Chains A and B, each alone.
Chain A
Amino acid sequence: MEDFSAHLPRLRRYARALTGDRFLADDLVQDTLERALAKFALWRNSGRLEAWLLTVMHNVFANQIRARAARPSMSEFDELAQEPAVRPAQNDRLDVADLATALDRLPPEQREVLLLVTLEELSYEETARILDIPLGTVMSRLSRARDRLRRLLDGDMPGAALKVVK
């Protein structure tokens, strides 16, 4: 009945940045499309389809994070370690791998806000609606995300000089 294929490129771009992994990203997109089809009657033509699909993706992503949090894994130990700086960026150009690593070190809720605002270029209001959070929370997460990303990329994160031995 419905055709979401026109939205695939942007959903894939957002998912790639959110998960940092090609296969995890496409899995997230696929889960999103399946859920969107099942729930399509609820959308009822209110608002932009794109924004609604991003809302569905946020819910799927948040469920994945919760499921992962409920299952203790090695990654929890990583959280306890001092966060190393990615690597001081040489001149203005940021390496793609450095950026992906830095994004991965942002808490998921900060990463979502940063990506919706900068990559998807959504308004703060639309971002708040998609994530179902107050506007003030969007602003504080955006501010923290930018600050943290800067420190990760510029290498002046506290303790950055310490090499973490894994």
Chain B
Amino acid sequence: MQRPSENELHAYVDEQLDAARRNEVERWLAQSPDEMARIATWRRQKAALRAAFDPVLDETPPQRLLRAARPARRIPLRFAAAIGWLAIGGALGYALHGAPPIAPRTLAHSAAIAHAVYMPEVRHPVEVSAEQETHLVQWLSKRLGTSLKVPDFSAQGFDLVGGRLLPGERGPVAQFMYQDAQGRRLTLYVRNDAPENRETAFRYAHEGRIGVFYWLDGHLGYALSGELPRPLLLGIANAAYQQLSP
């Protein structure tokens, strides 16, 4: 049998060989006492390292680390700042036009902020997960007072994670979250508070790295947000539009 390479000897000790090769190496080692002695030394090193440092696992971590690992739940500063700017923008809009800001532009802002807040969530990215899609759609439709549809972006590689209900400027808003195989996330923000029945073309805005395509369709306003290249996001917005407005 061919002598195992140096790397294979390490992989043998570290249990990173497949079963067949492990057996071969084992048989070869049985004939090679010198190499067997090296292997035994490496194993002793490993056992010594575990014996020396495993007790750390049972220590109670100091308070300062527990605090650093679990900071108080709060809105990160940068989002708080964004919300602050939004409030100022809203106030300015009010002052300049003398009417509540109803420009779809605020739709994009609100959607981008909601995206930024929930996109990094690991454990609770959504309130109702995609497994309960029927319930999700019924619930959000009822709260928004309109019949909602959830577009399917699987052709674009994004699967539904689920959805949640959020407060909007004039009432509840629905947010659906999607994720692709690389873990990239998209959110579709839907509100039902357009004061008049109208339709707009797609518009594009961005908040930092988050791009948003938004449009109005009847009483519903939609905003699709993600940190994705603009053409890719546009393709998905088109798919959404086609599915939502047959």
A44 proximity list for chain B (CB < 8 A): 120, 183-185
* Known contacts A12-B65, A119-B50, A94 near B42 by CB under 8 Å: no
- How many residues belonging to A are interface residues under a CB distance threshold of 8 Å? 47
**In the complex the two chains form, is A2's CB within 8 Å of B53's CB?**
no
Contact string against A for B residues 42-53, beta-carbon threshold 8 Å, 1 for contact and 0 otherwise: 101110111111
A114 proximity list for chain B (CB < 8 A): 49
- How many residues belonging to B are interface residues under a CB distance threshold of 8 Å? 43
Q: Does B61 contact A (CB under 8 A)?
A: yes
Q: How far, in whole Å, are A2 and B68 apart by their CA atoms in the complex?
A: 10
Residue of chain A at shortest CB distance from B68 = A33
Is chain A's interface secondary structure helix, strand, loop, or mixed overall? Answer: helix
Contact string against B for A residues 16-50, beta-carbon threshold 8 Å, 1 for contact and 0 otherwise: 11000000001001100110010011011110010
Binds B, one of A3-11, A58-66, A74-82, A158-166: A3-11
Question: Which residues of chain B from 61 to 90 have any CB-CB distance to chain A below 8 Å in the complex?
Answer: 61-62, 64-66, 68-71, 73-74, 76
* Known contacts A1-B73, A12-B61, A142-B10, A124 near B16 by CB under 8 Å: yes
B76 proximity list for chain A (CB < 8 A): 1
Residue of chain B at shortest CB distance from A154 = B41
**In the complex the two chains form, is B7's CB within 8 Å of A12's CB?**
no
Q: Does B197 contact A (CB under 8 A)?
A: no
**In the complex the two chains form, is B49's CB within 8 Å of A115's CB?**
yes
Q: Does A100 contact B (CB under 8 A)?
A: yes
Q: Measuring CB to CB, which residues of chain A are less than 8 angstroms from any residue of chain B? A: 1-5, 7-10, 12-13, 16-17, 26, 29-30, 33-34, 37, 40-41, 43-46, 49, 92, 94, 96, 99-100, 114-115, 117-119, 121, 123-124, 139, 142-143, 146, 149-150, 153-154
Q: How far, in whole Å, are A92 and B6 apart by their CA atoms in the complex?
A: 24
B131 proximity list for chain A (CB < 8 A): none
